[in-house]
A and B are shown apart, each in its own frame.
Chain A
């Protein structure tokens, strides 16, 4: 259970992905169970189910089974979120299933993650799925990656096996854009190095999985250099007390804002300075990402939803033509020349696909050119043009102002996840 002490700890969001038999559900179940995040009635329910299925042990993977269809069919649909916390930190797990819609689900679950756990079966080593998963982690710029080499119990807990897989993985990962790797030999089934240190692997000197999750530095994952404040709404109380109050409300997605700072409003280019900053805990002289704030300016400027407040000497690109990587999520394929609604920060416009530059074969990571369409779960580089200017940064530099979604205007479905280059 969570403890009362956890009032100063921070928050780590991580994703896990994997196919049915690589032990992902067991790992999450183990993490929840050994960190004492399971309640008695939950444990009793999975004990009953395990017994009904004729299992000798308690199947911890049952803890993460969500919907009726899944329980009946034994498959996981979509992304499910789990929560646990230790005295050091609160954790949000985006648990994404493997099977057919692997890419779509993993992209969704990883889009807000600071960290992802990649599972490798010690008997199999680096396989196609490992490469896919790692590529998506790199594409989505997840700052930290933990590679868990699981099922060590089935290879007699041998160091050679672990070392060989680490080397194999490093060879491949050198081509990817990931900054921070950790490798941990584990057995999710028996609990080795998940929460408790393994007695079978004296040769491993690193931290357990939970220790690593608790100690990864996440404060620096937030961009505090480039100030970007997309306006969500304008607050005008129209009351006697706040008759002239005009507050610009939104989430400071990156950077810092201080009282008296000179600012520019995009796309108009109008300039002003900050009169006051209101946070949920009251007025302050300094706000930082990712706070939700309301600011007042010293001048009466015309600002509405979709505009962005930035600093004069550090501005995003205000453009209509873009190069982007996209992951296609829609049932119907995307075609060259098609039009969609585009949502970027708090701004909406329409966009047309001008070119499919290349597709990425997610298994070999090779580029494939000459395509006219993109199907679900495929990743491609495209050129697109929007009807209005957008205030964008490269996704590599800024995950908030670098990301967008495309919406099918006929069905209203979200059909693509995009990242500006």
Chain B
């Protein structure tokens, strides 16, 4: 073995830091889209490294659906404090009050789709020309074709058939007025890479990722955290379960898994043995086979 050799995690880290620095230098006004999930936490961690010993030279943007886990918000505020970063919050409730979106009704109502409007508004209002996010190509088949630098037209839409070819590590961030880019520094990471990196770097995570007791509702194959935003159906009941979350999104759509994994090592063992993809219990992806692609075209993350 050569002495000058990087492990796969070190090579992914080097690549991501390079991409983050390119985004910073090629755009006037970038930001990090911060969801509170592990992927955007890793992107933020990498951004802090990319500019060390300076602070992250652009803000974190959080789209608040109003249906958040309280643990996510606490973690967010603590992280921003620790990094000395700037935080900008876009509220879906504001978009609803302004009449820009209509709140979904019914048993499966969620604000997942509504946040597209709030996100695009936040980008426009703050004149962001690049939004860095934690999407990974292994997550979902529409994302397998994403670029590191992903062009969005002035309506924030993605055109998968007309993407710029990305050659070597040379990124083309040129754009017309009003257009913007989504930048995905961890495109090449898998769910396992993320967990291994969190372990290696000892990155703190929201407690939601670890096994805990919670009031839940079983719906179809999913286990949802019970909250005031969940409308119980007939025959459904609230029960206390030992669970954790594999991904973290909105309260109304993020499915939990029954688990006793309470340390990072145990989580990694569990992920390694998992028989279902991590988005397999995301209600938002299950609406139709192409639902992620459709939301992405509209400007979803």
Interface residues on B, range: 35 or more
Tell whether, in the assembled complex, residue B144 and residue A343 are in contact, meaning their CB atoms are under 8 Å apart: no
With known contacts A10-B11, A280-B17, A1–B274 Cβ distance under 8 A: yes
Contact for A250 among B21, B142, B294, CB less than 8 A: B21
**Nearest 7 interchain pairs by C-beta:** A237-B54, A412-B174, A292-B17, A219-B2, A11-B8, A90-B8, A288-B4
| Bound Cα distance A66, B49 (Å) | 33
28 chain-A/chain-B pairs, Cβ below 8 angstroms: A10-B11, A39-B274, A67-B145, A69-B160, A77-B160, A80-B144, A82-B138, A85-B8, A90-B190, A107-B165, A108-B167, A219-B4, A233-B24, A235-B53, A237-B54, A237-B55, A242-B54, A245-B53, A245-B54, A249-B50, A251-B14, A251-B18, A251-B169, A280-B17, A292-B17, A292-B21, A343-B172, A412-B174
| Bound Cα distance A344, B5 (Å) | 25
Q: How far is the CB of A254 from chain B (nearest CB, A)?
A: 11
Tell whether, in the assembled complex, residue A2 and residue B192 are in contact, meaning their CB atoms are under 8 Å apart: yes
Kindly report which residue of chain B lies nearest to residue A13, judged by CB atoms: B188
| Bound Cα distance A105, B163 (Å) | 12
Residue B1 interfacial (CB < 8 Å): yes
Number of A-B contacts (CB under 8 A): 205
Contact for B277 among A41, A105, A108, A224, CB less than 8 A: A41
Which A residues touch B170, using CB under 8 A? 343-345, 403-405
Tell whether, in the assembled complex, residue A80 and residue B193 are in contact, meaning their CB atoms are under 8 Å apart: no
Residue B13 interfacial (CB < 8 Å): yes
Q: How far is the CB of A158 from chain B (nearest CB, A)?
A: 37
Q: Which of B99-107, B111-119, B265-273 faces chain A? A: B265-273
Which A residues touch B294, using CB under 8 A? 68
Contact for B52 among A10, A278, A344, A403, CB less than 8 A: A278
Tell whether, in the assembled complex, residue A412 and residue B145 are in contact, meaning their CB atoms are under 8 Å apart: no
Contact for B5 among A3, A219, A236, CB less than 8 A: A219
Kindly report which residue of chain A lies nearest to residue B46, judged by CB atoms: A280
Given A289-B4, A292-B17, 19 additional A-B pairs, CB 8 A: A2-B190, A7-B196, A9-B7, A11-B6, A40-B276, A71-B289, A81-B187, A92-B188, A222-B4, A232-B22, A233-B24, A235-B51, A235-B52, A280-B46, A305-B25, A345-B170, A403-B167, A403-B170, A405-B167
Which B residues touch A247, using CB under 8 A? 53
Tell whether, in the assembled complex, residue A41 and residue B24 are in contact, meaning their CB atoms are under 8 Å apart: no
Contact for B290 among A68, A77, A112, CB less than 8 A: A68
| Bound Cα distance A242, B54 (Å) | 8
| Bound Cα distance A79, B6 (Å) | 26
Tell whether, in the assembled complex, residue A280 and residue B172 are in contact, meaning their CB atoms are under 8 Å apart: no
Residue B161 interfacial (CB < 8 Å): yes
Q: How far is the CB of B145 from chain A (nearest CB, A)?
A: 5
Chain A positions 1 through 45: 1 when the CB is less than 8 Å from some CB of chain B, otherwise 0: 111101111110000000000000000000000000001111001
Residue A186 interfacial (CB < 8 Å): no
Contact for B188 among A81, A111, A242, A245, CB less than 8 A: A81
Chain A positions 53 through 70: 1 when the CB is less than 8 Å from some CB of chain B, otherwise 0: 000000000000111110
Residue B81 interfacial (CB < 8 Å): no
Which A residues touch B164, using CB under 8 A? 413-414
Which B residues touch A105, using CB under 8 A? 165
Residue B230 interfacial (CB < 8 Å): no
With known contacts A1-B273, A10-B5, A68–B293 Cβ distance under 8 A: yes
Tell whether, in the assembled complex, residue B144 and residue A82 are in contact, meaning their CB atoms are under 8 Å apart: yes
Contact for B4 among A79, A82, A256, A344, CB less than 8 A: A256
Residue A399 interfacial (CB < 8 Å): yes
Kindly report which residue of chain B lies nearest to residue A8, judged by CB atoms: B7
Tell whether, in the assembled complex, residue B145 and residue A239 are in contact, meaning their CB atoms are under 8 Å apart: no
Tell whether, in the assembled complex, residue B167 and residue A294 are in contact, meaning their CB atoms are under 8 Å apart: no
Residue B80 interfacial (CB < 8 Å): no
Tell whether, in the assembled complex, residue B54 and residue A10 are in contact, meaning their CB atoms are under 8 Å apart: no
The residues in B between 249 and 290 inclusive whose CB is less than 8 angstroms from any CB of A are 265, 268-269, 271-277, 280, 289-290
Kindly report which residue of chain B lies nearest to residue A256, judged by CB atoms: B4
Residue B200 interfacial (CB < 8 Å): yes
| Bound Cα distance A194, B144 (Å) | 23
| Bound Cα distance A235, B294 (Å) | 39
Contact for A89 among B8, B50, B141, B187, CB less than 8 A: B8
Residue B89 interfacial (CB < 8 Å): no
Which A residues touch B273, using CB under 8 A? 1
| Bound Cα distance A400, B137 (Å) | 24
With known contacts A69-B161, A80-B145, A108–B166 Cβ distance under 8 A: yes
Residue A191 interfacial (CB < 8 Å): no
Contact for B276 among A39, A112, A404, CB less than 8 A: A39
